Amino acid sequence: RKEVEQDPGPFNVPEGATVAFNCTYSNSASQSFFWYRQDCRKEPKLLMSVYSSGNEDGRFTAQLNRASQYISLLIRDSKLSDSATYLCVVIPYNTDKLIFGTGTRLQVFP
Amino acid sequence: NAGVMQNPRHLVRRRGQEARLRCSPMKGHSHVYWYRQLPEEGLKFMVYLQKENIIDESGMPKERFSAEFPKEGPSILRIQQVVRGDSAAYFCASCSMSTATNTGELFFGEGSRLTVL
């Protein structure tokens, strides 16, 4: 079983739609969680952190469910510029190793 | 540009040759990560280094791959006797001490794309 699993997609949504991605992780002893964004043939960039209490940044909301070992990302009012691959990231306890999921591809169309 | 610099951006090698990929971290960053990304796949952790020290190399293949981060100069990822399966994008990322676990933010270079013929 992969350490971090994501639905690869693609998720094809119209502008203005709300879309949600989930990510599951296998190591219950994980300390930190993040979402990264990667544009086609570009480097990944940090999008936001994920907390149990939830984290909202504009149109983006991230949530952590430790009991079920999953992380979610919700994007409201999708823009064309949101088209990218979204990578779920987990850091196990006592390491500085960032474990990336394979990513979920989002395509927003007009 | 004070960002993470990787070179070469593109490298073509024949089977059996050596590939050397270089990474200069952001100014002030003392830690470097190397990741490999195959087409349609996610980033696979390879190695985590600080100056003159390998902290975690659990993702490095046992043979042909090595990494270093000397006191002076860039970090080097070296692949000896390359095979077709080594074709991938190799990303380097840097951070200052322990910021990865605190903020989750790694600053990535644009990657080095290795093609093995």
Residue B1 pLDDT exceeds 70: no
- Mean pLDDT, chain B, rounded, equals 91
Interchain pair A43, B105: CB under 8 A: no
Residue B102 pLDDT exceeds 80: no
**Tokens standing for A51?**
């907390």
Interchain pair B105, A46: CB under 8 A: yes
pLDDT in tens, B67-83: 999 999 999 999 999 99
Q: What's the rounded Cα separation, in Å, for the pair B15 and A93? A: 39
Residue B115 to residues A58, B38, B91, B99, Cα–Cα distance (Å): 40, 11, 14, 33
Residues lower than pLDDT 70 in chain A: none
Inter-residue contact A97 to A90 (CB < 8 Å): no
The values of phi and psi at residue A90, to 5°, are: -130, 140
**Polymer length in residues for chain B:** 117
Confidence of residue B5 (pLDDT cuts 50, 70, 90): very high
In chain A, which among 24-63 make CB contacts under 8 A with chain B? 31-34, 42-46, 49
So what's the pLDDT on residue B101?
63
pLDDT in tens, B37-76: 987 778 999 999 998 999 999 999 999 999 999 999 999 9
Q: How many C-alpha atoms does A93 have within 13 Å on its Cβ side?
A: 5
Handedness of CA B14, B15, B17, B20 (dihedral sign): positive
- In a mutational test of the A interface, the residue from B60, B101, B102 whose CB has the highest number of chain A CBs within 10 Å is B101
Q: What's the rounded Cα separation, in Å, for the pair B85 and A83? A: 29
So what's the pLDDT on residue A89?
94
Residue A28 to residues A53, A78, A84, B18, B42, Cα–Cα distance (Å): 18, 32, 28, 39, 21
